[in-house]
Amino acid sequence: MTQNPEQNPAPVPSPLVRAVRTYLDHLGVERGLAANTLSSYRRDLRRYLGFLDGVGITELDAITEQTVLDFLTALREGDSEHVALSATSAGRTVVAVRGFHKFAVKDGLARLDPSVGVRPPSPAKRLPKALALGDVEAILEAAGAAGTILSMRDRALLELLYGTGARISEAVGLDVDDLDLTHGTVLLRGKGSKERIVPVGRFAREAVEAYLTRARPDLASTGKGTPAMFLNARGGRLSRQSAWTVIVKSAERAGVKAEVSPHTMRHSFATHLLEGGADVRVVQELLGHASVTTTQVYTLVTVDSLREVYAAAHPRALA
């Protein structure tokens, strides 16, 4: 016997499901989101609906801030049907949920937005990537085209960056008078115009002295008498972008495969100091960090290095 469809009508979607469908229609039609983006929103909100159904919530106004926070926790912890999400992926899902609730209030579907106080989780802080000492030395040796005036400038720049941990903006902002080669110090002007005096090691001093006596006078003769320490081929102050190029080109000539930037030299300076036994607060002062918390990220790098050495050397490390 054929059943009459009217005897088994399709289940009526809950107000929550209807609200989500309305929001997705809004994103697709009025906002014109790309198909892939819309698919991501649909997937994220489907998971949200599944969570709400699991805790017995079917009405928008029954959702509280704690509900949204519990959902965020569930995203990060995972369950038998879902893998735990990274902070980035969970954050993307929370953004979709916040967008939905904001729309629901604006469209008159809900009285309050329970997600307004919920912030996406912060992504895990990326550890700075330091170069091996051998790679740093290879880059220093490859500075500039051999035997040219610019090679002496480039070597002095790279030695100073690695030898002092200076930011690239601090290095190109140096004037000749900021260096005291007699006492082996340099005056660096950091963020917020904060000044600090940093020691300059022997290798950096020798490279700077060679540049000042044998190269800078020739470069300065084509310019207008700038006090800048590092000059370009026209006698003007070397730009940040040009200094960046010096580092990248030197790394290429050295055959270093790792991604290298001005900050890589700064990271390497800090990491190598800590691996050599320097106190983190001393490194903080040298880097010009306002808080030691900023510097402590480098201690995580050195702990990883210690862990690798331990795992390779201790007879029962892998037991």
* Catalytic residue annotation: 167, 191, 263, 266, 289, 298
Tokens of 173: 């902002």
Cα gap 299→275, rounded to integer Å:
9
Helix %, strand %, coil % for the chain, to 5? Answer: 60, 5, 35
Q: What is d(CA 14, CA 105) in angstroms, rounded to the nearest whole number?
A: 17
Report d(CA 195, CA 230) in Å as an integer: 19
Alpha-carbon distance of 169 to 262, in angstroms, equals 9
Q: What distance, in Å, lies between the first and last C-alpha atoms of the chain?
A: 69
Residue 48 and residue 102: Cα distance in Å, rounded?
A: 15
The DSSP bridge partners found for residue 179 are 186
3 state SS for 68-100: HHHHHHHHHHCCCCCCCCCHHHHHHHHHHHHHH
